[in-house]
Amino acid sequence: EDFAENLLQEVKETFQSRMDLAEQLKENAVAILNLCMESVREAAGYHRDDISDLLMKQSILEFKNRKKYIMEMRNKCMQTRTVVQRELNRSQRAIKLLHEECARMEAKINSEMLRSMAV
């Protein structure tokens, strides 16, 4: 009986540490997402400045050079978006796996508790 109680306590502690870890990972994911969004906002600000410069210089730039420059900026924005999306997807997958692990641990704890009550 002591073994079962010790095991149950160990499982509860493990479950709680996993829940704490899941919460920390969730907080980290939110922080990463906020940083990524800030980076995108900053990049957008730089691109706005670039576009303003481009418009001021348009009288001396050839059309194909302007078009090429705008396409490069568009590509930079798309690259930033891709990185942000990839990091968001990784964070979401990690959170999902942690929730699944927590659900398994909770089911195991409940099973152990029911088993110990039946004894």
pTM listed for this prediction: 0.37
Asked if residues 26 and 102 have their Cβ atoms less than 8 Å apart, the reply is: no
Q: Give me 61's structure tokens.
A: 């730039």
pLDDT at 12 over 80: yes
Query: pLDDT over 70 for what percent of the chain?
Result: 78
pLDDT single digits (tens) 45-83 = 666 666 677 666 666 656 666 667 778 888 887 888 888
Distance of alpha carbon 74 from the chain centroid: 24
| Residue 63: per-residue pLDDT | 66
Domain boundaries, the chain: 2-118
Structure confidence at residue 62 (pLDDT): 62
- Cα separation, 71 vs 97, whole angstroms: 39
Which tokens hold the place of 90?
């990784």
User: Which residue type, as a one-letter code, is found at position 11?
Assistant: V
